[in-house]
Amino acid sequence: MNPLQTFLQKLDSIHSALDFTEGTDGVKADLLASINLDLISKIAADPKNKTLLEDLASHNPATKSDVETSLAYATEKMKDAGIDVNALFTEVANWTLQNYLSKLAVSFPPEQIDPLRALI
Amino acid sequence: MDMEIILVRDPTREEISAGFKTALEKANTEEVKTAIESAIVTMEERWKVEDEVFEAAKKAAVTAELAALRGEVPPAVMDAINVAMEEPSPPASTTQEPASESHQTPVDTMSESASETPVEKTEQEMRVDNTEKFIKAAGELLENAKRRALGFLQEAKKIDIRNPLGWALIVAGTQSVFYAWAATLPALSGGNEFVQTAGMITSSAIAALELGASYVLFKEEFKVRSTKTANTSQQ
């Protein structure tokens, strides 16, 4: 199971425990975009990734089909640069889920929220 | 007298160069001459960087605009970015629920309204209310992530990323991974729609960031241009 699947599974568990099962896609998309932005910021903020970033600049995808063609290149370059996207994603995703739970804690009793923290 | 030449309103680069040359010719000591030569080099380097930034920012703005025209950037995302740019600090939580829920007699209220329809309606309302709480929480997290990303962009000079496309480039790597992962989703979430949604939302976020990047750099460029005269006169 890849980190994205793990994240979604945890999110589904949280939602189901809090009885939120319909119309969850919008929430998933928002959280995913949030993780994506934080992941990008995290990678970009690391000065040792500067060369990689400049390298990838010449392979900036303009369309979705470009993304597919540059997939192998980008993946290989990130691997070469020693960036562990899996670990970074997991770290950011867990942090996002913790924040999400903290925001929901305002609306739900601690008995419902606390066990879910352990899940993350 | 020479100062009058340098203080020409919004001087062109040629005028500035000419001013420096005149100053260089009139320099009396080696020390002054060296200082002026060094200032010329600094100025020329600055112009080179400005040109690069300006060209790249224009390119990024066009990319973002095209994306918007293709409908890839929802207006709401654009609005959010604009608001985030105007108000970089996160707004304080405005949840006023405790005050409105300070009644201690919810049970009494329920016993008063004993008919079935209002109770059913209340349950439905509560469900909608709950759904909104999840949507609101996720929306707030996304807004904060955008602010962090834009905040980072404003500090981007620290790591020497002058090219706004340099922002999109980071995306090339993470986006690819996202797409590869998203391709495995149907088995988990039971449909292709979510893959499309995920792809769309990340594209939107990226386009919005490109827009944000060009905006920041354009602002920076204008700032440089507007303070150029002042800096020149100081030298």
Contact B73, B207 (CB under 8 A): yes
Please tell me which residue of chain A has the smallest CA distance to B186.
A5
The one-letter amino acid code at A44 reads A
Domain boundaries, chain A: 3-119
Instruction: State mean pLDDT over B153-177.
Output: 46
Taking the CB of residue B14, how many other CB atoms lie within 10 A of it?
A: 8
> Given an 8 Å threshold on Cβ–Cβ distance, is B152 in contact with A5?
no
Q: Please tell me which of the candidates B131, B169, B184 has its beta carbon nearest to residue A57.
A: B169
Portion 17-46 of A in contact with B at CB < 8 A: 18-20, 22-41, 43-45
Tokens of B24: 């260089």
Identify which of A33, A45, A103 has the shortest CB distance to residue B152.
A45
Asked whether the beta carbons of residue A5 and residue B184 sit closer than 8 angstroms, the reply is yes
Contact B201, A32 (CB under 8 A): yes
Comparing B11 with A51, which gets the higher pLDDT?
A51
A106: burial class by Cβ within 10 Å (0-12, 13-18, 19+)?
Answer: middle
What is the pLDDT, as a whole number, of residue A111?
92
Tokens standing for residue B44: 């020329």
Q: Among residues A83, A64, A103, A26, which one has the least CA distance to residue B206?
A: A64
Across the range B34-40, mean pLDDT stands at: 78
Contact B199 A64 (CB under 8 A): yes
**In the predicted model, what is the mean pLDDT of chain B?**
54
Interchain contact, A20 vs B193, CB within 8 Å:
no
pLDDT at A15: 93
* Chain B nearest CA to A11, separation (Å): 11
Of A117, A97, A92, residue with least CA distance to A35: A92
Q: Do residue B144 and residue A29 have CB atoms under 8 angstroms apart?
A: no
Across the interface, which of A19, A40, A62 has its CB nearest the CB of B170? A40
- Under 8 Å CB-to-CB from B203, ≥6 apart: which residues? A64, B67, B72
Burial B57-72 (b: 16+ CB within 10 A, else e): bebbbebbeebbeeeb
B77-123 residue pLDDT tens: 445 444 444 433 333 333 333 223 332 222 223 333 333 344 555 66
Could you say which of B139, B168, B205 has the minimum Cβ distance to residue A60? Answer: B168
pLDDT per residue as tens digits for the range A23-50: 787 788 778 777 877 776 777 667 677 6
The answer to whether the Cβ–Cβ distance between A56 and B170 falls below 8 Å is yes
Q: How far apart are CA A63 and CA A87, in angstroms?
A: 27
Residue A21 three-state SS: coil
ipTM of the modeled complex: 0.81
* Predicted confidence (pLDDT) per residue in A48-99, tens digit: 776 776 666 555 555 445 545 555 566 677 778 787 777 887 888 899 999 9
Percent composition of chain A: helix, strand, coil (DSSP 3-state, to 5)? 80, 0, 20
Q: B138 and A5: CB-CB below 8 Å?
A: no
Of the residues B59, B65, B169, the best mutation for testing chain A's interface (the one with the most A CB atoms within 10 Å of its CB) is B169
